[in-house]
Structure 1
Amino acid sequence: MKKNYHDDEYFEEDDDIDLVDLVFTLLRRWKLIVLTAVPVIILGVFFAMTRPNLYEAETTLIISNNATAGITLDSGDLSVNQKLVVTYSEIAKSRDVMSRVIKKYDLKENLEEIAEKISVTPVTNTELIRLTYVDKDPKLAEAVTNELATEFIKKVGQVMRIRNISVVEKATEPVEPLPKKRVLIILASIVLGTMVGAGFVFAIELLYSKVRKPSDMEKILGVKMLGMIPEVVLDEEGEDSHES
């Protein structure tokens, strides 16, 4: 049964984005995607391979309930301590605390860079908090962490009037560096490079002015297409066969 080529049902509106067309566009332009993605991937590999070793030293502090000097904590302060971690973190990263540490060890980083290396986290369901510091030198990481804990305790006593914060475990020199996550960085660069390449291809397709579909002609001329002239091919028996 032959199709009626001027039938309105034969022509489908193609104004919406066709997922199949997008896939074939990517396949057709795969070389351009590769050429765009390769520099991004190379930069990602270079960054992953040249990352320096970083060492993290950790000290553990406790806010005890012992009735010693100063103001003590009651039984309800366990949950309060967990909520004060943000406050403790800001105190540990305060200008006064960090300035003293920087001056003592003659650190080259500024206050903002030092603050990024400091972390204060709670130990769940306990009165313990962990203070960590990251540095390229494991010995310096140990020394700075212990000094930060000392200055932190002094500052908390001055600001919050709590005198029962003490060190449970001093920081020791870290032996193993932190994971560099090289595989994750390389995978992320591959994904990013592919996305950049695909975006570049789609941008080119949007600017591509060649007519590829009947709907393109309708948009250009501003009129409705009435029909399509089929391609006529003679088979071996001499009969006409229509291929649109």
Structure 2
Amino acid sequence: MSTLEETISLRELFETIKKRFLLIISITMAAAVISAIVSYFILTPIYQSSTQLLVNQEKTDQPYYTNSDIQANLQLINTYRVIIKSPAILDLVREEMDLEITTQQLTSKIQVNSEQNSTVVNLTVEDPDAVRASEIANKTAEVFQREVIELLNVDNVSILSQAVPANGPVKPRPALNIAIAVVVGLMAGVGLAFLLEFLDNSIKNEQDIEKKLGLPVLGIITTISEEDFDQLGMRESRKLHDQRGESLGA
């Protein structure tokens, strides 16, 4: 019994999807088109540029680094990450580059991170202008390398690589956005199809009477089209004509 009910339920699900298939496809396509328009024509492209800093032990005559020296440098990195994004550094960057943005806005453009157990610090800048993103990254690294000597009285920061303008934006990603929109649109279309089916209380056939009203079907009135009606009338006319002929023959 349960298997039969499950089969009927699956059949109803497929029937609902088939019935509202055009609606589902329309919503999915609309979502994909809207996502493409927003991604290509509305959202501002964001470019990313990065430079790398190397944190070393303070310069001495010692020709090699011990394990304790490396551990000390690793502990300094968290401090350096905070200092790089502090007003003490970024205010100077704004002034030297003559940027018409606030320090908070500049801070939001900069990301500072490091690999685990590594003394290399990655300084990444995101900006709508690819050239300006690389210039901000290089200037921030330069100012930090210069100012950390006075702030912490150490000279252990070297610039490993200069930032260069990116060839393409990192955001938005139109292909990814469109793929997400297709999935969301498909889910929304299927959900709307089942919602409309659930809210539809109209009676279309005898199965709806049993399902929606819970009443048994005692009989069915067949719908006769105009063509069938005409054919039925012609048959009745012929029958009457034949009957008259038989009466006259008798």
TM range (shorter): 0.5 to 0.7
Aligned length: 211
Structure 1 unaligned segments of length 5 or more: list them: 1-8, 219-224, 232-244
Paired residue for 2:243? none
Task: Give the alignment partner of residue 213 of structure 2, picking from 213, 217, 233.
Answer: 217
Quote the residue 1:75 is aligned against: 67
Q: 1:57 aligns with which of 37, 42, 49?
A: 49
Comparing both structures, which one devotes a greater share of its residues to helix? 2
Contact 2:134 2:164 in 1 (8 A): yes
Question: Within the alignment, does 1:33 sit opposite 2:39 as a pair?
Answer: no
Aligned partners of 1:86, 1:120: CA distance in 2, in Å?
10
CA contact (8 A) 1:65 1:74 kept: no
2:121 equivalent in structure 1: 129
Taking a change above 3 Å as real, the CA distance of residues 107 and 28 of structure 1, as seen in their structure-2 partners, is farther
Question: TM-score, normalization: structure 2?
Answer: 0.63
Q: What SS class does the counterpart of residue 52 from structure 2 fall into? A: strand
Match of 1:239 in 2: none
Once the two structures are superposed, the pairs formed by residues 86-235 of structure 1 within 5 Å of their partners are: 88-153=80-145, 161=152, 163-174=154-165, 176-179=167-170, 181-210=173-202, 212=208, 214-218=210-214, 229=218
Q: Is the 8 A contact 1:97 1:151 kept in 2?
A: yes
Indicate the residue corresponding to 2:36 in structure 1. 45
Task: Assess if the C-alpha contact under 8 Å between 1:54 and 1:178 holds in 2.
Answer: yes
Identity of aligned residues (%): 23
CA distance in 2, matches of 1:200, 1:209: 16
Q: In structure 2, do the counterparts of structure 1 residues 120 and 190 end up closer, same or farther at CA, with 3 Å as the change threshold?
A: same
Whether the 8 Å CA contact 1:61–1:165 is kept in 2: the answer is no
Quote the residue 1:6 is aligned against: none
Distance 1:129 1:55 in 2: 20
Higher-Rg member (1/2): 2
Compute the RMSD of aligned alpha carbons.
Answer: 4.1
How far is 1:27 from its partner? 2.2
Q: Tell me the SS of whatever aligns to 1:56.
A: strand
Q: Does the CA-based 8 Å contact 1:59-1:167 persist in structure 2?
A: no
Shift in Å at residue 131 of structure 1? 0.6
Counterpart Cα distance in 1 of 2:48 and 2:156: 22
SS in structure 2 at match of 1:173:
coil
The separation in 2 between residues aligned to 1:201 and 1:81, in whole angstroms, is 61
Residue 189 (structure 1) shift: 1.9
| TM-score using structure 1 length | 0.64
